[in-house]
Structure 1
Amino acid sequence: MAAVVATLWIAARSWTLPAFPGRTDFVLMQLSAAWWSTAVAAESMVSAPADKLFWAEMAWMGIVCTPSLWAFFLWSYTRGELPARWRMVLVTVGLATWALALTNDAHHLIYTAIRPVDATPGAALIYSHGLLFYAITVYIYAFMVMSIVVTASGIHRATPAYRTHYLGFLVVMAVPWIANAGYVTGNLTLFDLDPTAFSFLAVDGVFYWLIARRRLFDLLPVARDALLDAVPDPVLVLDGDGTVVEANPAALALAGDHAAIGRRLADLPGLSVLSTAANPVKAPAKGPGMGPAPLTLDCGGDLRSFEVTWVPLAAGRGGREVGCLLMLRDVTHRRRAEARLEDTVRRLDAARQEAERRLAAEQEAKRALNGFLSMAAHEFKTPLAIIDGAAQLLQLDAEVKAPGMLPRLEKIRRAVRRQVNILETCLADDRLSDPGFALRHDMLALPALLRNAAAAQCDAAPGRKVELDLDGCPQRMTGDGPMLELCVHNLLNNALKYSPPGSPVRLRAWSEDGSRDGSRDGGEAGRWLALSVTDRGIGIPDGERERVFDRFFRASNTGTAAGSGVGLNMVRRIAVLHGGTVTLDSRLGEGSVFTLRIPLGEPAPAEAAPCDGGMAGMPAG
């Protein structure tokens, strides 16, 4: 009973201390432990078994509430005040358990039987427990475990300076656990009674020592003051009249007056703009991006930007607003970076617009140039045809009258044919670049087409020989005759151009089954025309073979040989439009083999070639 009186004094002393988190729960826990201990004391003093049972039942209010209030106190102290409604839940459970205990004779859910420990008058009782007893025990132990978890997490989150206080919590919490465990196992009793209630009184005594000697509950306000001083951003507390009642060192330095506390905000030169700011923004309730617009303050001639947040301070149960907390976050560097970024974006946007203007002008010039070249090509074909016709007539006349003129006339005709081939290539490239271009689907006599192409190339290159191998060549196929003939002309022309004199060029055509690349183990099946042009010329360097079909690309070893880099690109584009491919096998200094494969039936759908000649998805040559 002396311990109970001491506990009641501690409860009264704790209530008069400055407010600290969990104070209400701490005081209620002391009162609950005092209730429990008083009932245990009364049980030990009375002698009749029925009276002892009554006081044992009276103790259940404290038995249930003490551990749960202890857990709530630790939670509030380490993590923040819990709402009052949760405290009402604990009290409701305690009252319900107390009512069940007082009516135990009707249901025997808590105590099923009692018997004295011995025959001595007034001897303590041994209780046989019912199902509700064990359920309540689990409930109580859950709160005890919660106390350990909350305290352990507080140790983990606390700074080293405050961890000893949380360790003290854990040590003190071990006392009720040891007492209860000893009672349950039958190894520890106090006057033959449960010592758990007295252990909670001992806990109260330890906390009284922490309060009186170690200033445990004074630590939190001190820590909060230290935290306010350590915050690098200015923080001010204003009363309802706008007077500064508290300010951290950063705010005092910003105000330029260390005697700013007690003065009105509007009277502080460095901060007066804050008092005139219209519609101050309250602290954002949700995530970032909801704060107020920055304000610019003159800090001793240095203009700095701050995000200002106003937090209203309320007092009493009615929530009457008594002042506000003013927090300023220095965002000068961020604002300067944003300004630089905005300037960079503006300059980049201006550069983009200028580039788009120049690109549009270039595209327009390119279209005009292409139109001029197309027109010029058409215009040149007519005089070239006249020159070629005149040369033919002169050849007929020279055979009789001036045989010595025949070589010169033949040279004129070869030059004309060379110019016509160049014009045909330019016109074909222009047609292929037209988005509206469509292939013709004519039935072609392949052997005749290939022989004519070979003969034309031989005529253009006197003394050069094209060997034909048409044994396996299909007789008919569907395709665009002029375009396919142009492919053969370009392949033969390249082979003859880059082969040494006297070295033959071989043109071979055959049909094959299988996929586009000639394999028979997959791919798109069907009948294919395969056409290869083989030479023993200079070959193509290893690092340039993948680019040989690019528009305007010429290998580095072509020297001074004439060429535009358009022909092979055109061959690939025509092959793709027919649903086929063109590949290259070359060895530097030994020669090259170009192989064109095209389906013999209806051509597979293919997208028109883009204007720059590149074919997306085209396999490398």
Structure 2
Amino acid sequence: MLELFIKHTEEMKRHIEMLNALFKHATEGIIVVDDHGTIAMVNPTAKDLFGYDDDELVGNKIEILIPIRHARQHVHQRINYMHEPRARGMGNNRDLFARRSDGSEFPVEVSLSPFSTSEGDFVVAFVVDITARKKQENDIKEANIEIQKLNTELEMRVTQRTQELGEALRKLETSQEEVVRALEKERELNDMKSKFVTIASHEFRTPLATILSSASLIGRYVLTEENDKRFKHVQRIKSAVNNLTEILNDFLSIGKLEEGRMQSVPVQLDMPSSCLDLMDEIKGVCKEGQKIEYQHSGGAEAWLDKHLLRNVLINLLSNAIKYSDCHTTIFLRTRVDEKGVHFEIQDQGIGIPESDQPYIFDRFFRAHNAGNAQGTGLGLNIVKKYIDLMQGDISFESITGKGTTFFIFLPNHAEVVA
């Protein structure tokens, strides 16, 4: 009988030690309150969460942790809860905030579980700081607002262009020849519109689906040890938003070029410095193990349009990254000589099939081996128009499966002036 008693006592001791360890080392804040709202026990995580030292909370009312503006209302809610206690979350889809010892507030999630002992009735509250999650939710909301704004601007431009075309058709109806030309133009624009709708719907669907799925999954990761998973989905959302922005920029650039609202304005550039800054900007989109090597020869100074040049190089380097495998090298070479400024962008990617090469600068054209890589077919068309604006020239060499090299020549306007 004594042995059974000793065995039972030791087993009870182990259970108590295990529960005590769980209480002390839990990653959530745990607060035990009696039926009068007095704090009976607090685990170390809760003390750190609210900024209190040992024994500063025990014996105080739970309202010490409630924002002052809600403290009186909380007393009534607490009393009502104790009449019919049950396990549940607090807030009923409302944002909850807690108050630290210094008076600052932070968003929380709280769940309640009542229990009884020989000493009376108690409620244990599990408290989680959701500051990081709230920030992520706000970032997603802001990203969605920006996307909606961009979509609205794009729709307005399409509507404006459609109205302008309608007015042009009415004016061209004065002669049969002009009507024929107008109808041909209309067919061409309808084809472009169809391509636009097809490409835009396809290119927008993938990043928007990524944003939606990641936004839905982020809410499931509430524990501190799940920060890596939350960060992964935030990065996916940022990447998807960047893809949408690039697509919209392509469409807007085409509109500006067609309307003649862009021109080349040369400024003095330090070529190596400008290219190195550009590489720092774009290396964030490189695949695993990819690197960009830069080489320069000749003088450092050149007079070029900084904005147009940046867009040309960003587009060509982005393509090189997109269509090259991981752990490959992309080369950017520049040279300034008495003739002008020379650029080479070389990759080790999939190359351009010989049958596609005559059409590579056409609008909406994509090589047949592009596969599922994202793209609108506008990038190289825009690059060619930018280089024409700068009175330059672009050519390329490509072998399927081995890579592509683009060659660009731009006049150095400082030498022309001299």
TM-score (norm 2): 0.45
Larger radius of gyration: 1
Structure 1 or 2: more strand by fraction: 2
Higher relative contact order (CA closer than 8 Å, sequence separation 6+): 2
